[in-house]
Amino acid sequence: MRTQVGIIGAGPAGLFLSHLLHLRGIDSVVLETRTRDQIESTIRAGVLEQGTMDLLTQTGVGERMKAEGALHHGFELAFEGKRRRIDLTDLTGQAITVYAQHEVIKDLVAARVAAGAELRFGVSDTSVHGIDTDKPSIRYCHEGAEHELQCDFVIGCDGSQGVSRQAIPQALRKDFERVYPFGWFGILCEGPPSSDELIYARHERGFALISTRSPNVQRMYFQCDPKDSVDNWSDDRIWAELHARADSDEGHKIIDGKIFQKNIVGMRSFVSTTMQYGRLFLAGDAAHIVPPTGAKGLNLAVADVNVLSKALDAFYKENRTDLLDRYSETALKRIWRAEHFSYWMTSMLHRIEGASPFEQQLQVAELEYVTTSRTAATVLAENYVGAAGAQMQVNL
């Protein structure tokens, strides 16, 4: 088989890139190790920046997001027994939508299937070849047979554990990483929302996040030891911990519900500044990871492939390579901004093991500042809605 662009990975980055390329008249094939059911049912967080919302809408895949997603014009910071609201729309003129990542994936898969796209799920033994030539290829197994996909470009959207980044010679890769000594204990529960907007809570016992998935399903997290086990946490113990961290002295209380999913996720920051090598380009989690505190992961993936689709369009329509040559440089400006914001939010809101009482009071002082100074609140809001990064336009 031959195509113009071979895409490894059917997460948000790979599927949205395939969608954007289709709109530009560029052929692609998407290869994915998981089944369609697996990628559409794996529940993950989804806070969409204004630019991501606009891009999904402009490209025809935002209808369900607008109908079913929760549009939020602000969020609350909870600390020292009180809650203070960051008014995103007042400060920036923009907003965010809470819409789970697997729902975005469903919309993108449906759009690609409707367009007759070549999506191959359940592939194995994927490997990349000839990326330092103008005739790269991807070899893989599908339904018991070996295949080779010949293409002009290979785009690695296969996450942090995928084969794409490993195909770049180790001597040429420059990676940066920070592993945090804490994780998030996450639950999904049945019940009404505890708040109209997200609540980010800093407490001496640790961080907590009160989020939502739908009018009847809620998502909540609290800081924990990443080596802990969900088996150590009964439902009663979980609710006691969440109430201790997120209830306010002003009478605001979170609402208990029937817990039907528990998990623990580790937290790290990672950037591979070598996002391209020959005819191979990395996008999304294959190139960078952010802690979820800043809600940037999906948005960075969308921003990457938007830049990449424009560069590929210039190559095919104008025989230009300058945008492809500058892909890493262009993408990394936004990536490092998002990395810093996510690091800042994480450092400001989490309990840092070994922190002195002095350092703990500095966290409180910073939260006081960002919730009482309009200038400081604007900096936070601009970064949260994505206004501090490059604005995303399709320009088809």
pLDDT digit string, tens, across residues 132-151 = 999 999 999 999 999 999 99
The pLDDT tens digits of the residues spanning 266-275 come to 999 999 999 9
Indicate which residue of 19, 22, 296, 350 is catalytic.
Answer: 296
H helix intervals, the chain: 12-23, 36-41, 50-58, 63-68, 88-92, 101-114, 235-246, 297-318, 322-325, 327-349, 357-372, 374-385
Residue 164 backbone phi and psi in degrees, to 5: -65, -55
0.75 exceeded by the pTM? Answer: yes
Give DSSP secondary structure letters for 149-216.
Answer: EE-SEEEE-S-TTSSTGGGS-GGG--EEEEEEEEEEEEEEEES--SSSS-EEEE-TT--EEEEESSSS
Residues 6+ apart with CB under 8 A from 286: 9, 13, 156, 157, 158, 159, 160, 162, 164, 165, 272
CB 239 within 8 A of CB 217: no
CA angle 267, 273, 274 (to 5 degrees): 125
Number of other CB atoms surrounding residue 27 within 10 Å:
16
The pLDDT tens digits of the residues spanning 51-84 come to 999 999 999 999 999 999 999 999 999 999 999 9
Catalytic residue at 181? no
User: What tokens were used for 82?
Assistant: 């009180």
CB 147 within 8 A of CB 139: yes
- 390 has pLDDT over 50: no
- 394 has pLDDT over 70: no
**Which residues are paired to 120 by β-bridges?**
31
Going along the chain from its start, the domains and CATH numbers come out as 5-46+100-174+273-352 (3.50.50.60), 177-267 (3.30.9.10)
Element (H, E) at 130: none
Average pLDDT over residues 1-11: 97
pLDDT, residue 396, reads: 57
Indicate which residue of 140, 180, 200, 277 is catalytic.
Answer: 200
pLDDT, residue 226, reads: 96
Number of other CB atoms surrounding residue 382 within 10 Å:
17
The pLDDT tens digits of the residues spanning 25-53 come to 999 999 999 999 999 988 777 899 999 99
Indicate which residue of 12, 19, 22, 72 is catalytic.
Answer: 72
Catalytic residue at 384? yes
For residue 193, give the nearest of 234, 252, 139 by alpha carbon. 252
**Rounded to whole angstroms, how far apart are CA atoms 211 and 225?**
21
**Rounded to whole angstroms, how far apart are CA atoms 283 and 59?**
19
Indicate which residue of 12, 136, 193, 292 is catalytic.
Answer: 292
**Residue 388 banded pLDDT, cuts 50, 70, 90:** low
For residue 66, give the nearest of 90, 88, 48 by alpha carbon. 48
pLDDT, residue 287, reads: 97
Q: Treating both helix axes as pointing N-terminal to C-terminal, what angle do 374-385 and 357-372 enclose, rounded to 10 degrees?
A: 90
